[in-house]
């Protein structure tokens, strides 16, 4: 499975846990729109740290970095470049 599909699948699971089965596009806001809360964002952050070794203490954190599938994908790609 490619990066983007993995990210999408993870976000889908987070939303489903909240009873949110609505579809979402790669550029749809999930965090800033309120579909996911800050504690859900933490689950995503831990997933990114564990899966791709992204270190937010090093790169800094901003909710826009993980607001959409596309934004998360950019983070993952950049992590690959840094490695």
Partner 1 sequence: MSAGVSPKKYSQFAVSSDTTSVLRKHPAVHDAAAFRLSSDRDALVAFVVADDSYLDEVLGRNEAASHQVRKWRKTYDLTQLTKAAAASPFAFNIAGWNSSYTRQPLPQEDMREWIDTTVERISALTPRDVLEIGCGTGLLLLRLAPGCQRYAGMDFAPSVLTRLREQLAQRADLGGKVELLERSADNFDGFADNSFSTVIVNSVAQHFPSQAYLDRVMENAIRVVQPSGHVFIGDQRSLLLLQAQAASVEAFQATPEVNAAELRDRIHKRIQQEQQLVLSPAYFLSLAQRFPKISRVEIYPRRGNRDNEMTRFRFDAILWIGPESTPRIEIPFLDPPPQGWNRDNMRRLLAAGKSEGIGLARIANSRVARDLRLLAQLASADQQQPLSDLQNELNHAEAEGIHPEEIIRLAAAAGYKAILSWASCCPDGSYDAAFVGAGSWAGRAFPAINWPRPSRAAYVHHSNAPGQSEIREKLRQELLAHCRVKLRDVAVPTILHLVDSLPHTGDGGVDFDALLSVTQTAAGSL
Residues that bind partner 1 (CB under 8 A): 18-19, 32, 34, 37-39, 41-43, 45-46, 56-57, 60-62
Q: How far is the CB of 60 from partner 1 (least distance, A)?
A: 5
DSSP string of 5-70, one letter each residue: HHHHHHHHHHHHHTT------TT--SSTTSSS-HHHHHHHHHHHHHHH---HHHH---GGGGSSHH
C-beta of 41 vs 71, nearer to partner 1 = 41
Question: Do 67 and 40 meet the contact criterion of CB atoms below 8 Å apart?
Answer: no
Q: How far is the CB of 63 from partner 1 (least distance, A)?
A: 8
C-beta of 32 vs 74, nearer to partner 1 = 32
Place of tokens 């992590």: 79
C-beta of 20 vs 70, nearer to partner 1 = 20
């Amino acid at each position: 499975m490619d990066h983007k599909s993995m990210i999408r699948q993870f976000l889908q699971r987070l939303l489903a846990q909240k009873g949110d089965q609505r579809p979402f596009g790669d550029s749809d806001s999930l965090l800033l729109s309120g579909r996911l809360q800050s504690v859900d964002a933490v689950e995503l952050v831990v997933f990114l740290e564990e899966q791709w070794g992204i270190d937010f203490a090093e790169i800094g954190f901003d909710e826009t970095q993980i607001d959409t599938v596309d934004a998360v994908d950019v983070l993952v790609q950049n992590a690959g470049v840094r490695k």
